Amino acid sequence: MSLRPPLKLGILGSGRGSNFIAISDTIHAGRLNASVEIVISDLADAPILQLAQQRGYKTWSCPKGNFKTKLEPEIEEQLAAQLKAANCELIVLAGYMRVVKTPLLAAFPGRIINIHPSLLPAFPGLNAWEQALTACIAQTGCTVHFVNEVVDGGSIIAQTKVPILPDDTAETLHARIQVEEHKLLPAVIRQISEGKIVLDRH
């Protein structure tokens, strides 16, 4: 049994919540000494919120803003306040589709991580698996990295490679990348919880 207290997580997502489920399942299986303190989405109807509520987690959705790719500073300040109030120690972007800006970065310096579906620095941004297919390369993968002011530009923590098969479509490749995401993200959080990865304070 770990002598460390559970690592308190705040999870942000915009979609189906499959990475959130992977984290939650790993915790409940006793393979990750962490606790999900709150699940937040930028979209009020995101399935991740429904899944979190079904599992008994606290949830919050951002007020509707005017932009698709970012939150207004005052909304992101509200988001940061929710995470602070929940005493979150590590913020996990699990399919969160907004660019993180100063209010959140300043509130949790070096304590925000993201999972991205490519071997960064290759193919940052949206639909990375489609970018990889178009590039006609032999492999892609997924990356967990710290979040900074550069989109998908923070320091890399861990990666898993995924081969691109001759008959791959965007859908089949993305599905295989997600299988690896669901292993890699909980594994990285476990290493942080065990002190094997030191949170980047820069």
116 assigned to active site: yes
The whole-model pTM stands at 0.95
The arithmetic mean of pLDDT across residues 56-77, rounded, is 93
* Token representation of residue 18: 């499959």
Domains annotated for the chain, with CATH where assigned, are: 7-193 (3.40.50.170)
What is the model's pLDDT at position 1? 47
Which entry of 28, 116, 145, 182 is annotated as an active-site residue? Answer: 116
Angle at 49 between CA 172 and CA 33, to 5 degrees: 85
- Cα 139 from Cα 129, distance rounded (Å): 10
Angle at 115 between CA 71 and CA 155, to 5 degrees: 90
The arithmetic mean of pLDDT across residues 40-56, rounded, is 97
The arithmetic mean of pLDDT across residues 13-22, rounded, is 96
What is the model's pLDDT at position 76? 96
- Residue 45: is its pLDDT beyond 80? yes
- Residue 121: is its pLDDT beyond 80? yes
What is the model's pLDDT at position 2? 54
The arithmetic mean of pLDDT across residues 28-50, rounded, is 97
Interaxial angle between packed helices 170-193 and 18-28, expressed in degrees from 0 to 180 and rounded to the nearest 10: 40
**What is the per-residue pLDDT across 131-143, written as a single tens digit (0 to 9) for each?**
999 999 999 999 9
- Residue 9: is its pLDDT beyond 90? yes
What is the model's pLDDT at position 198? 86
Rg (alpha carbons) of the chain, rounded to whole number: 16
- CB neighbourhood size of 45 (10 A): 8
Closest CA to 202 of 160, 154, 157, 161: 154
What is the model's pLDDT at position 18? 97
| Per-residue confidence band for 4, with pLDDT thresholds at 50, 70 and 90 | confident
Angle at 23 between CA 148 and CA 5, to 5 degrees: 85
Beta strand spans in the chain (E): 7-12, 34-41, 59-61, 90-93, 112-116, 139-146, 156-163
- Residue 202: is its pLDDT beyond 60? no
- Residue 145: is its pLDDT beyond 90? yes
Instruction: Name every residue whose Cβ is closer than 8 Å to that of residue 87 and which is 6 or more positions away in sequence.
Output: 8, 37
Say how far residue 125 (Cα) sits from the centre of its chain: 14
* Token representation of residue 162: 């995924």
